[in-house]
Amino acid sequence: MCSGLVKSQKNAYNKTMSIYETSIGSLQGTPALLNFMEGKVILVVNVASKCGLTPQYTALEQIHEQYAGRGFSVLGVPCNQFMGQEPGTAEEIAEFCSATYGVTFPLSEKVDVNGDARHALYSELTQKADAEGIDGDIRWNFEKFLVGRKGDVLARFGPRVLPDAPEVVSAIESALA
């Protein structure tokens, strides 16, 4: 009887929670952004406006538009932890994304993705390893996580993997099937 109780507690502690159980505000300050996305397949990407990888916004917007009708969304998560490449205010970030790249997908509040102040969303996401077996800390801007309809982390893609790369598109289509 005791071993069954211990086993149950262990399973409860080892359970990976749905990202929908995590609270993160929108860039505009509204709370509970993920509540509005629950049930969708989401590509979560830590973004920055002054990075060599910033042109990925174009492909992110394209895949967002291409798959939105099937229950898909990109979620951009601004972060200033990598060489100060996202220094702007919420208003500046929103203006840059809209005016420069025509971004229509949701953007969250600016958060830390690594370190002691790591946002709870990234505490969940970073447990997933990418195709090379790398998990843990975010390596750079534009690291991508594919999240399933139930909030489970399905895949992780490194910063240099383009949002429209065959492996990302295949994973999105599989998750939407």
- Going from N- to C-terminal start, the domains of the chain cover 15-176
Express as a percent the part of the chain with pLDDT over 90: 81
Q: Residue 110 has what pLDDT?
A: 96
**Catalytic residue numbers, as ranges:** 51
What ranges make up the beta strands (E) of the chain? 41-47, 72-78, 144-147, 153-157
- With cut-offs at 50, 70 and 90, classify the pLDDT of residue 16: low
Residue owning tokens 């490194």? 158
Helix ranges (H only) for 18-165 are 56-67, 90-101, 120-125
Q: Residue 31 has what pLDDT?
A: 85
Segment 122-131 shows an average pLDDT of: 94
Instruction: Count the neighbouring beta carbons within 10 Å of the beta carbon of residue 48.
Output: 26
Segment 69-79 shows an average pLDDT of: 97
Superfamily of domain 15-176: Glutaredoxin (3.40.30.10)
Is the pLDDT score of 11 beyond 80?
Answer: no
Is the pLDDT score of 68 beyond 60?
Answer: yes
